[in-house]
Structure 1
Amino acid sequence: MYFLAVFLPPLAVLLAGKPFQALMNLLLCLLGFLPGVIHAILVVKDKKDEERMIRQAQLISGSRDN
C-alpha cells in the first residue's frame, strides 16, 4: 500500500477507505506532487495503525474470556 501511496497517492487513499480524503489528496497532488504523497503516506499509516489496534483489542478481550 505504501508503494501505491508514493506512485498513485489518490488511489492509495481511496483504497484505504477514505473517499473524501482521496479528493483532497487529488487537489494536493495537483498543487504539488510531494504534498499529495506525504498526505497519502500518513493516511495509509493511520489505516494500518487502526487495523493493528483493533487486532490488539480483540486479542486482549479474547484472552480475558478464558
Structure 2
Amino acid sequence: MIGAILLIIITVFIPPIGVYLVAGCGADLLINICLTMLGYFPGHIHAFYVEYVYYHRKDEARLGHFASQPAPGVYSDNVQTGGHGYGTMVTH
C-alpha cells in the first residue's frame, strides 16, 4: 500500500518514472516520454492508466483470476500480468 502511494506521488511529478517502475524500459516508457513531452497531462493519463492496469491485474492474480485478454495500449508483460512473471498468462 505504501509502495502504491509513493508510486502515485512520483507519477504526479514525473510520469515517465512511474511508468518505468511498473513497466520497465520498453514501449510503454517510450510512449509515456513522448506523451509527456507533448504535454504534461497526456503523460499523466497514460502513466496512471498503466499503473491502474498493473495494480488491477495484480489484485486479480492474488484472487486467482487471470485476464485472458491483454489490456489495450499496454505493451509490458510485467504490467499485463500484474507483476506475476513474464510470458504467457494462465487462463481459466
Same fold (TM over 0.5): yes
TM-score bin (small chain): 0.7 to 0.9
Structure with the larger RCO, 1 or 2 (CA within 8 Å, 6+ apart): 1
What is the distance in 1 between the residues matched to 2:52 and 2:10? 12
* 1:19-54 CA distance string (max 9 Å, x none): 211110000010001100111011111100011011
The structure in which a higher percent of residues are helix is 1
Cα distance in structure 1, aligned partners of 2:13 and 2:21: 14
The answer on 1:6 being equivalent to 2:24 is no
Distance of 2:14 and 2:57 partners within structure 1:
22
Which protein is bigger by CA-based radius of gyration?
1
Give 1:52's aligned residue.
59
Asked if the contact 1:6–1:41 (Cα under 8 Å) also holds between the matched residues in 2, the reply is: no
Give runs of ≥4 in structure 1 deviating > 2 Å: none
TM-score (norm 1): 0.79
Deviation at 1:17, TM superposition (A): 1.9
- Give TM-score, length-normalised by structure 2: 0.58
C-alpha distance in 2, partners of 1:6/1:28? 14
* Paired-residue identity, %: 31
Q: How many residues align?
A: 58
